[in-house]
Every structure is written in structure tokens, then in C-alpha cells.
Structure 1
Amino acid sequence: MVTKTPRPSRSSGSEAYDLLLEAIDSGALPAGTRLREAELAERFRISRTPVREALKRLEAQGLVLHEPHHGAVVASLDYGQMAELYHMREVLEGTAAGLAATHATATEVEILREMVERDRGLLADPAALAATNRAFHRQIRLSARNRFLNATLENMRISLALLAGTTLAVPKRGAESVEEHAAIMAAIEARDAAGAEAAARRHIRNAFKVRIGLEHGGG
């Protein structure tokens, strides 16, 4: 009896987009990787049409670009672009934290507190900490009650997928980051909008300093 190789399943462009974005974000498809439709379809067990749709969407967002003689590749950020990205993160994440100090409900503050406590137990697992770090920042954005700010920060998060690795894997950075989150949470709980914004901006500046070290091969 001949065993047939399973055919790639059909998938929507949205599902293919999520798969490719996750692969870029996790580093499975690092900057400079050549993106061939047929290979991606086989790799993710999906058909080529949704892969093509996903690549177009990623290109529109700046995560994929076309190089002469190479076709589609995963984009990369140069130093200037990275600095611009972190500068805007500092401004917008700070604004979100300040608004959260005004608008967050008691339940939302409790959720933030529980997130900080949980993360203190994840310091030995940078990958897990990176995932919960994103959840913490997302909760602050939602608590800010500004749909336009939330949408802008979500689009910025997509651009962050182009940065290789996580700064939380750098020795001591995970613990520092969690305590910075604790400071942001405490200011939000105290309804101190200025303090929350300052704490959030300081957190992003510190992350940028560590990112520069990573990009230059330092610690």
C-alpha cells in the first residue's frame, strides 16, 4: 500500500499572515531570509495563494521587501530606524501609561499587579517573559481607553518583530524590566499620571540601551 504525502491544507490569507509574522517575530525567519512562496507553503502546510496574500500584507507593513535578483526577503532595521522606533515607543508607551493612570479600573490595576507578580517567577525563562511582557504593555494600552493610540502601538509592535532576539535574555535585564513594570503599575494604581508616564518612558529608554548592546554584540 502506497502512503500518500499529506497535501498542504488550504488556509486564509489572515492565517498565513499570522504564521509568517510569528515566524519573523520568533526569529525562525530572521532578517535577510529569502521568502519563496512554494517553500513557505510547504513549510507551513498551506497553499500558495494565502502565502502570496500574506507576503503582500507584510510588505505593506514594511516587514518584507523586494531585493533585486533575490525577490522577497525579511526586512531589517538599520540603527537610525531602530532609534526612531524606540523614540516613538517611549513617547507613545509613556502616553498610554499616563492615560491608564486616569482611566484604568480597579480590576485592571489588579490584573497589572498580578502580571508583575507572575513575571517575577519567570526570570529564568526569557522567551516566556518576552510573551508576558507584551501582554503587560497591551493591558496598559487597553486601560488607556484611546482606540487610536492602541492601534498605533499595535502597528508599532509589528515593526518590533524585525528586532532579533529579546533584550530580556541579557543577564539581569529580565529582573530589571519586571521591577520597571512594577514601578509603572504602582504609579497607575496611585492615579499618578505624570509618574506613570515617566516610569514607562524610563522603561523604554532602558530597553533601548540594552538593544543597542545586543545589536553591537555586547551584553
Structure 2
Amino acid sequence: MKADSKGIKRLPRVTLSGRIAEEIREAVLSGAFPLGSQLNEMDLAERFGVSRGPVREAMQRLIQEGLLHSEPHRGVFVPELTDTDLSDVYYVREAIEGAAVQRIMARQDRKDIHLALMKIAKQMEKTVTQGSWMQVADIDLAFHRELVEAAGSFRLSRMYATVQAETKLCMHMLMGGYRSSKALVEEHELLANLIAGDDVAATLRELSRHFGDPIRILRKANAVRQGSEAA
């Protein structure tokens, strides 16, 4: 008897270039490929044991995502975001998340989203004492992604997805410039609690304060790195 396949989801077909793109993406976001470094198509093809075609296709995909940058007659690089880029990414994030907050807080029942956000904040609390900065950054992004998804707007989520990769690049740049790990956890818990309350204006003010001034944070991060190099 032939099994009924109804109700079974079709699995996405992952192409070779897609798998290569995922490997390169992870290397960029983890810092294995540092900001400003050049990626060589031939070297990557040899590393992955494939022809240059799938590597070229993967790199084009990541260029479209903003994770790589192509310079004519020079090659493909991991971008070093400028002050303007940094400010713009956080400007867009605040606009998207602010819209999500207003939509969420228009509901009467927000218990589920409050619990989901607090769960992520507690996970962050455990990770800051034992994990790497990039692990903390992943949880930080998960918190904000959960917030946007909770708005229930496909288009808002799609807009947010377009800046996620650049956001993680920004967080890599800002490493060492953020407030203390304890303060970071407390800020996320405060945001979750405010969303569960009724003061929309206060929640939006805290969201804006939470993002802070990325340029100031970047300068502090650079000073920390320069101090480490001097030591």
C-alpha cells in the first residue's frame, strides 16, 4: 500500500552554492573572515573542493545580502562599515522595531510575547558569564527578531530580515564598546516588561535608549581594541 504523502511538507532543495554561501556567511559573521579582508574565489573553490562557479554564485548572493562588497578591478571584500552605514542600520532597526512595538502593544493579551522575550533574556544572562561575544550577539538578535515576529506582519518581518546580516556585522564592529554584560541583560528584561505594560511612549523611549549612539559605541570599541593591541 502506497503511503499518503498529504500533509508532509516539501523539503527545500539546498543547492551547492547555497551551502557554500552558508559556510562563508558563518565565517564572516563569526569573524573568521575579518572586516576588510579580501575573499579569493580560487582559494575558496580549492578549500571547498568545488569549481569556481558555485563559489561565484554564493559570493553574489552574499553581496546582495550586504555581507560582502564587490569593488571593480579589485575583488570581493568583507565590508568595513562607515559611521554613516552604522547609524543608518540602527536608524532602520529602530523604525522597524518601533512599529512592531506599537502593533504588539495595541493588543490586550501580551502574555505569550512577554514570556518568550523573558525566556531569551534569561538565556542571555546565562551566556554572558560563559559564552563568547558572538554567542551573546546571537541571543541579542534572537530577542529583537522575536519582538518583530510577534507583530504578526509578514512585510515588517521581511524588512527586518534585510538588515539582520548587516546588524551582526555592526555588532562585530562594536565588540568591546557596549555597556556591561549585566546592563545588557537588564535592558532586555526592561524592554520585555515594558511591552507587557501599557505605556507605549515609555517603551519607545527605552527602545531608542537601548540602541544608544552607535558611533559613540564604535569609538569606545576601537579604543578598547587599540589598547589591547598596544598591550
1:20-68 superposed Cα distances (whole Å, 9 cap, x missing partner): 1221111111222221222113334555332111111122233323335
Equivalent residue number for residue 153 of structure 2 = 146
Structure 1 pair 138–51 and aligned structure 2 pair: CA distance change class (3 A):
same
**Structure 1, unpaired ranges of 5+:** 1-9
Q: Does the 8 A contact of 1:94 with 1:197 survive in 2?
A: yes
Equivalent residue number for residue 203 of structure 2 = 196
Separation in 1, partners of 2:175, 2:152: 28
Separation in 1, partners of 2:137, 2:189: 16
1:136-180 superposed Cα distances (whole Å, 9 cap, x missing partner): 111101101111111111111112243362646557532212111
What SS does the aligned partner of 2:172 have?
Answer: coil
Separation in 1, partners of 2:57, 2:29: 19
What SS does the aligned partner of 2:170 have?
Answer: coil
State the identity %. Answer: 27
**Is 2:220 aligned against 1:213?**
yes
What do you get for the CA RMSD once the two structures are aligned?
Answer: 2.7
Amino acid at match of 1:40: L
Alignment map for 1:29-178 (pairs within 5 Å): 29-103=33-107, 105-124=110-129, 125=131, 126-163=133-170, 165=172, 167=174, 169-170=176-177, 172-178=179-185
Structure 1 pair 62–111 and aligned structure 2 pair: CA distance change class (3 A):
closer
Deviation at 1:133, TM superposition (A): 0.9
1:61-94 superposed Cα distances (whole Å, 9 cap, x missing partner): 3332333543222222111221222222222222
Question: TM-score, normalised to structure 2's length?
Answer: 0.77
Q: Does the 8 A contact of 2:66 with 2:165 survive in 1?
A: no
Separation in 2, partners of 1:197, 1:121: 27
Separation in 2, partners of 1:203, 1:173: 13
Separation in 1, partners of 2:21, 2:168: 13
Q: Does the 8 A contact of 1:11 with 1:46 survive in 2?
A: no
Amino acid at match of 1:37: E
Amino acid at match of 2:59: L
Deviation at 1:127, TM superposition (A): 2.9
Post-superposition, which runs of at least 4 consecutive aligned residues in structure 1 deviate over 6 A?
none
What SS does the aligned partner of 2:37 have?
Answer: coil
Amino acid at match of 1:80: T
Separation in 1, partners of 2:140, 2:217: 15
Q: Does the 8 A contact of 2:20 with 2:55 survive in 1?
A: yes
